[in-house]
Amino acid sequence: MTDAPGPLEPMGEQGQPILDRLAFERLTMAHSRALKLHCYRMMGSLHEADDLVQDTFLKAWRGRSQFDGRGSLRGWLYTIATNSCLNAIKARSSAQRIVEPPGRPPTEGRAAAGPAAELAWLEPYPDTELPDLVDGEPGPEARYETSEAVRLAFVAAIQSLPPRQRAALLLCDVLGWSALETAQLLGGSTASINSALQRARATLGARYPHGRPLQRSHPNSEEGLLLERYMQAWQAANLDGFIELLREDATYHMPPWRDWYQGREAIRGFFKTVWGNFAGYHAVATRANGQPAVAIYARRHQDPEWRAQSLHVIEPADGGIASLTVYVGPLGPDLFAPFGLPPVWPHS
């Protein structure tokens, strides 16, 4: 935590310096994107992250007399944001958001389980909202690269952790805080933080080899070609072309439906039952969670309008698609606005 605040004025009743409104906005807004990403990782929700950042700034403004200028402004804001997230998690019915219902085996054939509006689903995160590298660069003690720690699979994995373990892992292993700094934020001893970290790392280790999701390279020309072929397959309604892009062991999730599929043939079997539900598709490239993504607009039979239908987040690996998460109605269209996409595509 190295961010140093600028001049603070005027003086409060106790002699503490107080930020005036313009200085407050200048200093705090520089951290808004990084704080939003932190809240998103904690909550698994883009919408909740937006609300919690606003709540953080409001609490910081009201409590600005408590900031004495000797510590890190960044650390002070993260303290407020993390505690706000922990309180928000306590107040809701589920401590985690999911992309796959726990304990449910993959579906074979037609989807039969139906949507589950009562479950809390993990939301994707627009790349346009990611902080600049300098602002989001982790400290020297971080175990995860910035690009790795935003991926959908990583955020889904840490959602399985109890809230306090999740916070400790994010502060130490993602942001690079020391156990001492994290203990000062969360309360308790350094030993308790180290214990929470050990348990959190063990949980991730049981879910992923080496305690982390499969690493992937930075975007390259091969990934761009894969995205282009994916979009072409959808726009041409080419089911075979779409399936060819999947790895043999690919997984397919479609929040808010409980059903999910594993393996190329199982995914083909499902899409055979739904591919013809629309008269055509229009694909728009975007990015989510540091991964290629596609917004699909669909035109129903007897309807000339191309309407928001689904948002696809792609996990490339070895020249193919290892995992595909497709957010469908009502989740899908509701996510178009945060990605800067209109509900109806204006072009034919």
CA angle, 98 as apex, 92 and 101 as ends, to 5°?
110
Task: For residues 166 and 252, state if they share a domain.
Answer: no
Q: How far apart are the first and last CA of the chain?
A: 50
Domain-located, residue 3: no
pLDDT value, residue 134: 43
Q: What is the mean pLDDT of residues 120-124?
A: 96
**Domain with 290 in it: what CATH number?**
3.10.450.50
Domain-located, residue 10: no
Last residue of a domain, one of 150, 179, 207: 207
Task: For residues 194 and 282, state if they share a domain.
Answer: no
Structure tokens at 132: 């600049």
pLDDT value, residue 77: 93
Does an H or E element contain 82, and which?
helix 73-91
Residue 129 DSSP label: G
Task: For residues 251 and 179, state if they share a domain.
Answer: no
Omega cis (within 30) before 256:
yes
Rounded (to 5) percent helix, strand, coil in the chain: 45, 15, 35
Task: For residues 184 and 229, state if they share a domain.
Answer: no
CB-based contact 135:31 (threshold 8 Å): yes
Task: For residues 143 and 284, state if they share a domain.
Answer: no
On the 0-12 / 13-18 / 19+ scale of CB atoms within 10 A, 302 is exposed
CA distance 109 to 103: 19
Indicate if the pLDDT at residue 102 is higher than 90. Answer: no
DSSP result, 257-276: BS-EEESHHHHHHHHHHHGG
Domain-located, residue 9: no
Structure tokens at 261: 């599929």
Task: For residues 79 and 144, state if they share a domain.
Answer: yes
Task: For residues 143 and 200, state if they share a domain.
Answer: yes
Nearest to 257 by CA among 329, 308, 157, 324: 329
CA distance 35 to 55: 11
In this structure, the strands spanning 280-288 and 260-262 are: unpaired
SS3 for 118? coil
Last residue of a domain, one of 181, 207, 233: 207
Residue 13 pLDDT class (50, 70, 90 cuts): very low
On the 0-12 / 13-18 / 19+ scale of CB atoms within 10 A, 250 is buried
Neighbouring C-alpha atoms within 13 Å toward the C-beta of 152: 28
Q: Give pTM, 2 decimals.
A: 0.89
Domain-located, residue 116: yes
CA distance 63 to 69: 13
Task: For residues 139 and 265, state if they share a domain.
Answer: no
Domain-located, residue 215: no
Task: For residues 193 and 226, state if they share a domain.
Answer: no
CB-based contact 292:285 (threshold 8 Å): yes
Domain-located, residue 251: yes
SS3 for 87? helix
Nearest to 197 by CA among 136, 122, 142: 142
Task: For residues 195 and 227, state if they share a domain.
Answer: no
SS3 for 314? strand
pLDDT value, residue 65: 77
Q: Which of 96 and 135 is assigned the larger pLDDT?
A: 96
Residue 216 pLDDT class (50, 70, 90 cuts): low
Counting the structural domains of the chain, the total is: 2
Q: What is the mean pLDDT of residues 126-138?
A: 73
Q: Which of 218 and 186 is assigned the larger pLDDT?
A: 186
Domain-located, residue 95: yes
Task: For residues 171 and 259, state if they share a domain.
Answer: no
pLDDT value, residue 139: 67
For 269, residues 6+ apart whose C-beta sits below 8 A from its C-beta are 108, 109, 261
What mean pLDDT value characterizes the chain? 87
Domain-located, residue 47: yes
Does an H or E element contain 307, and which?
strand 306-317
Last residue of a domain, one of 173, 207, 241: 207
pLDDT by residue (tens digit) across 283-340? 999 999 999 999 999 999 888 899 999 999 999 998 899 999 999 988 889 999 999 9
Task: For residues 286 and 199, state if they share a domain.
Answer: no
Helices (H), 130-169: 133-136, 152-158, 163-169
pLDDT value, residue 78: 94
Domain holding 82, by residue range, is 21-207
**The residue to which tokens 């204006």 are assigned:** 346
